[in-house]
Structure 1
């Protein structure tokens, strides 16, 4: 798993990063909220591990912002020295999925990460929310600002895949294989055509914060135009 580790204490951050690495995870460390917000523009993380007390924004503000702007499909774990019932309740109510009190026990945090990964895999939401977009996987439809958008089957499959991986760059060939199959004999220009249609139908040009950007000669990425801080 790729884990975003937001921790202002360099020593604590290094210890946590080593622990995550020992469990087979990759981590990226951020010492303040602003650098973390900037990274979210281009990177899809599998889990967020946040300190509750940071120098710029509180953990509660960050969790609330992530839920409103990124969605509920990513697990959030709080790691803090604050061992207080009211704080635990506040963290969970704001949208966190787990709460750990420092000093962190290596085996415990790795086990909790494994539990969160299983839980999120098992109860993958039928409705995904990303800003003004709502993706209903059971009914296979997408709503833009509350309005249902008519899409073909492949357009929906492509949109769903991109909405499930905001910020991640995919090559044309990768998208072709994921949506149309490994052995399909279709030109990669098919991907370009479908991307163009999605941009128009879903207004993925930045009007509603999200846009489908192209990387010349390579592929596409769904990214936020402006990730406003809390």
Structure 2
């Protein structure tokens, strides 16, 4: 993954501010996105009129609906849908609900980011992001960082966003859907992404008495599991994988958060390390100790080496 310079972070912040400003302007003016070209029957809605009666407008807060019907053996997943357009969001949410999943709808990027920052976890993110490919890339990277690398991401994109695209989908998303689309295509893409991630996450990592399960972001000690926030889980897994080695704060931030970040971001590492140290203390184990190295970084000491 590419390193992001301070200038890159400034551009990234400006892009997000621009996206949030557009959301505020759209709400203030009560204007939605321009209607898309009319789609054939069975496809996503091209305009509010084509969508038919719609549910109550989303305010950007959690909207959990009852599960629809699902085939035997299909696991229910918790899926977040971010789409500013009410008709398009309702179309996507309805299609996914009919497949038997729990759907949480968001109309605002800012509200969605707040929920992720609070530690809310999802099995899949379905994201429709407004703007140019550069803005989509920045916003998707921002949300992926908040949700954690283990959370799959599927982009809902418009044709014009693919023009001049700098490999947005392969770098940041597991797949993408060109909108408008047929509901059956959307459901198939969702199934494929979930199945692919589940297959890749089947492996459980064992380090002495500690067992890491990427699927549920859980850490078990002698069979007693604790679920962590995605970023906390990735940090702990990184340290256990590289036990008994010292790493600087910058190296840890780059490995877990994806880039070097501005100088102030190393404070984020200290905050997460404090939480992890408290968690290790609560377990009562003496096999592992997390030591800070003044002016440099951290080292996780283990009495036993990883068995996997």
Alignment of 1:89 onto 2:167 = yes
- Flag the 1:211–1:69 CA change in 2: closer, same or farther, 3 A: farther
Alignment of 1:29 onto 2:95 = no
Residue among 218, 222, 225 paired with 1:158: 225
The equivalent residue for 2:180 is 103
Count of residues in correspondence between the two structures: 155
TM-score (norm 2): 0.42
The equivalent residue for 1:118 is 195
The equivalent residue for 1:64 is 141
- Flag the 1:137–1:12 CA change in 2: closer, same or farther, 3 A: same
Which whole-Å CA distance do the structure 1 matches of 2:109 and 2:188 have between them?
26
Q: Which moved more, 1:101-110 or 1:84-93?
A: 84-93
Question: SS at the partner of 1:53?
Answer: coil
Residue among 245, 264, 272 paired with 1:208: 272
Which whole-Å CA distance do the structure 2 matches of 1:155 and 1:47 have between them?
30
Residue among 12, 30, 51 paired with 2:128: 51
Q: Contact (CA 8 Å) 1:3, 1:26: kept in 2 or not?
A: yes
- Flag the 1:86–1:209 CA change in 2: closer, same or farther, 3 A: farther
The equivalent residue for 2:306 is none
Unaligned ranges ≥5, structure 2: 1-76, 212-218, 233-269, 277-308
Q: Contact (CA 8 Å) 1:2, 1:25: kept in 2 or not?
A: yes
- Flag the 1:91–1:209 CA change in 2: closer, same or farther, 3 A: farther
Q: Deviations over 1:4-59 (max 9, x none)?
A: 1110111111111111111111211111211101222242111000013169x943
Q: Deviations over 1:142-178 (max 9, x none)?
A: 9xxxxxxxxx96289635x324698xxxxxxxxxxxx
Q: Contact (CA 8 Å) 1:5, 1:50: kept in 2 or not?
A: yes
The equivalent residue for 1:137 is 205
TM superposition shift of 1:67: 3.3
Q: Deviations over 1:74-103 (max 9, x none)?
A: 11000021352542722322x111011111
The equivalent residue for 1:130 is none
Question: SS at the partner of 1:38?
Answer: helix
Unaligned ranges ≥5, structure 1: 127-135, 143-151, 167-205, 213-230
Which whole-Å CA distance do the structure 2 matches of 1:104 and 1:12 have between them?
10
TM-score (norm 1): 0.55
Question: SS at the partner of 1:158?
Answer: strand
- Flag the 1:210–1:51 CA change in 2: closer, same or farther, 3 A: farther
Which whole-Å CA distance do the structure 1 matches of 2:188 and 2:113 have between them?
27
